[in-house]
Amino acid sequence: MAKASPVSPLAPKSYPECPDIEGVRFATAAAGIRYAGRTDVMLALFDKGTQIGGVFTTSKCPSAPVDWCRARLPGGKARALVVNSGNANAFTGKSGVASTKLTAQIAAKATGAPSTEIFLASTGVIGEPLDATKFDAVLGDLAQSAVPGGLLDAARAIMTTDTFPKIATATAEIGGVEVTINGMAKGAGMIAPDMATMLSFIFTDAPIAAAALQAMLSKSVVGSFNSITVDSDTSTSDTLLLFATGAAAKRGAPTIATAGDRRLASFKRALDGLLLDLAQQVVRDGEGCRKFVEIRVEGAASAKAAKRIGLSIANSPLVKTAIAGEDANWGRVVAAVGKAGEQADRDKLAIWFGDFRVAYKGLRDPSYDEGKVSDYMKGEKIDMLVDVGVGSGSWTVWTCDLTKEYIAINGDYRS
């Protein structure tokens, strides 16, 4: 594993108070899967009737737990979630498949839930066999000791190179009744989610059917987890699951069957905000990062084109190293726009760093003041606005800088 790193300078200053979600209980344990002296297994238990939605990596080489979850998702029901860190159970062949099956059997025995309603996720090293018998030693106790609180501890247990646990909370109302959404995420490297995300688990007491959860989730990730990148490397294990216990029905919340239901307006807004919060926390823990970068692209041929241009800038090693060097090197931004393959009018292109327009109408802004812009680049949050001058499509993406520390972390991850 990577050497213990200090907490990311971009970490939130405090953790939010997350109210308990009725129908959800957590427990964690140190099973010694890879790490010593820390928790590495997390169990979440859900009351009967809990509905689930999920999205996964688009990798053509997904992990065994991703395969497992995909196959069980159409059932729409969840009773337990077992997550381990330290080993991704990815590219482990038949032994990986057997390992997921055994894990679910152990969890079924420990919790009394059917194994078809048990969801699994693993994160860590790729290609190492995962010894599922290690779960045997801990899941029985965890099932007994699970409590409604403990979201933060649960988020800690799923960390790998993360330097801080990522949690978020939001409230919404459905039919006049307040519901709560809590979420956690992990991820610090191999972050370029594509129609999916890193590990992230969302819990709500809202009474919403699986089909509606699925539709909302698929939509909400587009502007959040699918709009971030740390290093352009899409993981084999990206998994985002949304569990709805429906407990708020007891307090009078109506049960919602479809995502088109207008009574979901508040919930959708809250979910969007919460996913974005978690996604940005993932970027704020990008390996070796020192700057949080927001890139807004406007004037593109379409929103899709704007997103592609934004990610081209966000994934450019030259742009990212320039930001690490506190250099407003907008020439590299021009190059990244140019290589994106989307329509752009070089002679109408304009670029801002913060409030400073550095390039305008195809050349350096006449009012460009390198001193002022350099001061701006010393900040921790860098906002970039790029108008590519051809249409009205816009998109925002988030990333971090690329530092020597990223190389150090990743040149030494397995040793």
277 vs 287, beta carbon nearer a copy of itself = 287
Given a contact cutoff of 8 angstroms between Cβ atoms, the answer to whether 375 and 5 are in contact is: no
258 included as an active-site residue: no
In whole angstroms, how close is the CB of 411 to a copy of itself at the nearest point?
A: 3
> Closest CB to a copy of itself among 170 and 192?
192
CA 124 to chain centre: 15
User: Cβ–Cβ contacts within 10 Å for residue 150, how many?
Assistant: 21
Q: How far is the CB of 305 from a copy of itself (least distance, A)?
A: 11
CA 186 to chain CA mean position, Å: 7
Which of 32, 41, 118, 25 is CA-nearest to residue 75? 118
Structure tokens given for 119: 């969801």
Task: Provide the minimum distance between the beta carbon of 37 and a copy of itself in the complex, in angstroms, as a whole number.
Answer: 24
Task: Write out the two tokens for 269.
Answer: 């807004």
Residue with smaller CB distance to a copy of itself, 89 or 280: 89
Active-site position among 197, 204, 239, 403? 197
What DSSP designation does 373 have?
Answer: H
Closest separation in Å from C-beta 301 to a copy of itself: 11
DSSP state of 130: P
Q: Which helix (H) or strand (E) holds 229?
A: none
When the beta carbons of 296 and 364 are compared against a copy of itself, the nearer one is 364
Q: Under 8 Å CB-to-CB from 6, ≥6 apart: which residues?
A: 163
Q: How far is the CB of 193 from a copy of itself (least distance, A)?
A: 10
Rounded-to-integer distance, Cα 341 and Cα 333, Å:
14
CB of 285 to a copy of itself, least distance (A): 16
Which three-class secondary structure state does DSSP give residue 273? helix
Question: In a 3-state reduction of DSSP, which class is residue 270?
Answer: helix
Q: Buried b / exposed e across 264-294, counting CB within 10 Å, b at 16+?
A: bebbeebbbbbbbbbbbbbbbbbbbbbbbbb
From CA 86, how far away is CA 100, in angstroms rounded?
15
C-alpha separations of 148 from 21, 226, 342 in Å: 7, 30, 48
Which of residues 22 and 131 has its CB atom nearest to a copy of itself in the complex? 131
- Please say whether the dihedral angle defined by the alpha carbons of residues 233, 284, 183 and 141, taken in this order, is positive or negative: positive
Helix (H) or strand (E) holding 356: strand 356-360
Rounded to an integer, what distance in angstroms lies between the CA atom of residue 134 and that of residue 87? 12
* Interacting residues of 219 by C-beta distance below 8 A, sequence separation 6+: 259
Least CB distance to a copy of itself at residue 48 (A): 35
214 or 236: CB nearest a copy of itself: 236
How far is Cα 299 from Cα 361, in angstroms, rounded to an integer?
A: 13
Least CB distance to a copy of itself at residue 357 (A) = 13
Tell me which residues are annotated as active site: 197
